[in-house]
Each structure stands twice: as structure tokens, then as C-alpha cells.
Amino acid sequence: MDNSNIHILSEFVERLEDQVEAMYDNPLAHSDRAYLDKAHELSATVGKASAAVQTMKTGQLNQFADGFETNIDDLNDKLATLETAVKVVEDGAAGIQAATEVIIAVRNLFGIL
């Protein structure tokens, strides 16, 4: 089942659920047993449709997860490489900090402390 079709089916079932709510909201549902039973029957039928769409969605989501997991692994690889690059910058900075020792030596040499 195509993903956009599952979306359309979801919207279809949502509309049916609104129909169920409308029946339950009807004052007849508070006083007429036969009417309430019909509302329950509609609710059970819509429940079936809802469960069917959600079953399809489970398959769809499992497929998405498989595809997305590969991309997340790729993202993790990229992050690991970035961390290495950041380390390069930090190591560079640490090396440069060592140059402060040169500054101190020069300051001492010329007596400008």
C-alpha cells in the first residue's frame, strides 16, 4: 500500500470516527436503546476500519525504520569524523598555547614583565 494512500485512509477513518461521536452526542443515544445499540455497532465497525489502517501502518513504519536506521548510522559516522576534526582544532590550539612559553621567554629576555 502506497504511503499517501494510507494517509488518505487515515483521514477516511477519522471522518468515520466523527460520525460515531455525532451518534453518541445525539440525545437519542441517552434515551433510545435501539439507537444506542446502532451507535455501538457503528463504533465497532469503525474500530475494525481503524485497526485495519493501523495494521497497515505498522508494516509501513517498520519499513521506514529500516531505511532510516541506515541513514542514522551514516549520521553517526559523520559525527565521529567531525569529532576528530574538532580534536585537530583543539590539538592545534593546545600546540599554539605552548607558544605562550615563547612569549614568556621573550618577555624575560627583554625584561618587560
Near another protein in 2-31, by CB under 8 A: 3, 6-7, 9-14, 16-21, 23-25, 29-31
Dist. CA 20–CA 18, nearest whole Å: 5
Is 80 one of the binding residues for another protein (CB under 8 A)? no
What's the CA angle centered on 43, arms 38 and 48, to 5 degrees? 130
Is 113 one of the binding residues for another protein (CB under 8 A)? no
Is 96 one of the binding residues for another protein (CB under 8 A)? yes
What's the CA angle centered on 40, arms 25 and 44, to 5 degrees? 125
Is 108 one of the binding residues for another protein (CB under 8 A)? no
